Homo-oligomer: A and B are copies of this chain.
């Protein structure tokens, strides 16, 4: 510790930096002066070894370049940074083994807590981990000590889409689902079905087709729907990316949106306001789920109980939907 050039002991300096105990004002001032004369910066590495806290939070995402979760990462980063924590991002690639491995890496690096964005780990695994360090997880609804979960209101979101279409007079509404091992996909599909029943609209398994949340998958799904010759006047895609693909497939088939078919997406990606036609879609604040998750982590870290929270959905009506004319 170069700062004992101030003529005091290392511990005194440490106390000043951390506010651990009272230090007389004169020494306080002296040390602070020496500190910025020398441009001294405490070494987080050593701090971790000694103090046990690394001031970093592990964040398990699936793909670091996911257009969907990207905003959540930003929310996490913003909130954490204010609290002088640094996020450590790792990717699980929707693969259980990889998720496990990366989580191990995070534990090795002694992160102070872990935020898990969805993923495929079992609730038990998460519960066990929570005994080691605080966990915040999205896309689930479970609670355990030291574990906090926060989720989108996917059910409501999908319901909103159906309601909008229903109000426009649509009755036969198809659904392009994501992969069912993906919690968001499963919930969105459930929300669609529930709302259909609530409104006495036809619930028909043939109206549901499964895909992969990608543009190309949406294209294939739409093609499949068209080929099946089933009757529908509107389609809901479980995310915007698939909606883009579906929209192109419709175009290739000579069908116009929204004149022939109404289309609604899910997520409201930045691009969606600029597609042709601009896409009607369900928006959930992905940024907010990130920032709330980070805030919850901060709460957990200071032994406060974070408030329960469900991120609201809203429907953004643009030009890809219109009154059903059949």
Contact of A248 among B45, B46, B276 (CB under 8 A): B276
Q: List 18 A-B contacts (CB under 8 A).
A: A44-B110, A45-B45, A45-B54, A49-B49, A64-B73, A64-B77, A65-B71, A65-B74, A67-B67, A215-B270, A216-B274, A219-B274, A241-B271, A248-B275, A248-B276, A251-B276, A271-B271, A276-B276
Tell me if A63 counts as interface (CB < 8 A to partner B): yes
CB distance from A254 to the nearest CB of B (A): 13
Contacts of A66 in B (CB 8 A): 70
Tell me if A199 counts as interface (CB < 8 A to partner B): no
Identify the 3 closest CB pairs spanning chains A and B, nearest first: A65-B70, A244-B274, A215-B274
Q: Which of A86-94, A114-122, A164-172, A182-190 contacts B (4 or more CB under 8 A)?
A: A86-94
Tell me if A48 counts as interface (CB < 8 A to partner B): yes
Copies in the complex: 2
Q: Count residues of A near B (Cβ-Cβ below 8 Å).
A: 46
Tell me if A181 counts as interface (CB < 8 A to partner B): no
Tell me if A247 counts as interface (CB < 8 A to partner B): yes
Say whether A65 contacts B73, CB under 8 Å: yes
Say whether A110 contacts B54, CB under 8 Å: no
Tell me if A245 counts as interface (CB < 8 A to partner B): yes
Contact of A88 among B42, B65, B70, B86 (CB under 8 A): B86
Say whether B110 contacts A43, CB under 8 Å: yes
CB distance from A265 to the nearest CB of B (A): 12
Q: Select from chain B the residue with minimum beta-carbon distance to A287.
A: B65
CB distance from A136 to the nearest CB of B (A): 18
The answer for the CA separation of A54 and B66 in the assembled complex, in Å, is: 27
Contacts of A247 in B (CB 8 A): 274, 276
**Contact (A108, B273) CB under 8 Å given A64-B70, A64-B77, A74-B64:** no
Tell me if A17 counts as interface (CB < 8 A to partner B): no
* Chain A positions 84 through 108: 1 when the CB is less than 8 Å from some CB of chain B, otherwise 0: 0011111100000000000011001
Which parts of A2-57 form the interface with B (CB within 8 Å)?
A: 41-46, 48-49, 54
Which parts of A289-324 form the interface with B (CB within 8 Å)?
A: none
Tell me if A278 counts as interface (CB < 8 A to partner B): yes
- A43, A65, A104, A108: which has the most chain B beta carbons within 10 Å? A65
CB distance from A309 to the nearest CB of B (A): 21
Tell me if A131 counts as interface (CB < 8 A to partner B): no
Q: Select from chain B the residue with minimum beta-carbon distance to A84.
A: B105
The answer for the CA separation of A91 and B42 in the assembled complex, in Å, is: 22
The answer for the CA separation of A237 and B310 in the assembled complex, in Å, is: 40
Contacts of A276 in B (CB 8 A): 247-248, 251, 275-276
Contacts of A274 in B (CB 8 A): 215-216, 219, 244-245, 247-248
Contacts of A109 in B (CB 8 A): 44-45, 86
Contacts of A86 in B (CB 8 A): 88, 90, 105, 109
